[in-house]
Amino acid sequence: MEARFDYLGNPSAGKFLKHLISAGRTLLDSSLPATTQELVRIRASQINGCGSCLDIHTKEAAAAGESAVRINLVATWREATVFTDAERAALELAEQGTRVADTPGGVTDEAWADAAKHYDEDQLADLISVITVINAFNRLNVIVRRPGGDYEAGQLS
């Protein structure tokens, strides 16, 4: 599979991508656990069918020490015993924030309240940001059909 558009090689697109990458980098100093961030990125990318982002974030999660079991069970997190209550709340918020058209109002009050039980205000802000940025990357990569498979952990650092 080949990408239908070389987004990285286009000067106009490159300007936008520079800012999107910059937005994502603001999360590097977050107190929201890095593992939670990667789990959220993986789940949103699964929902959106973004092979490129799944390639990146499953490999980054593994390189950061995340277990293969947890990475492989993200798609079925509700039925898995390997996630904490806080991670479950983040994954639920990520799912609802990704599938905003599926629920009237987008994200339920219950999902928000559950996330707010586990994360402080700054962490909630960062969780919202992670969900927003990965959805933007997913959409970009799906539109241009950027394939996954050749990413190496740390390549974008």
* Amino acid in the structure at residue 24: G
pTM of the model: 0.95
Which CATH number is 7-144 given? 1.20.1290.10
- What band does 1 get if pLDDT is binned at 50, 70 and 90? confident
Place of tokens 């390189």: 63
For the stretch 133-154, pLDDT in tens is 999 999 999 999 999 999 999 8
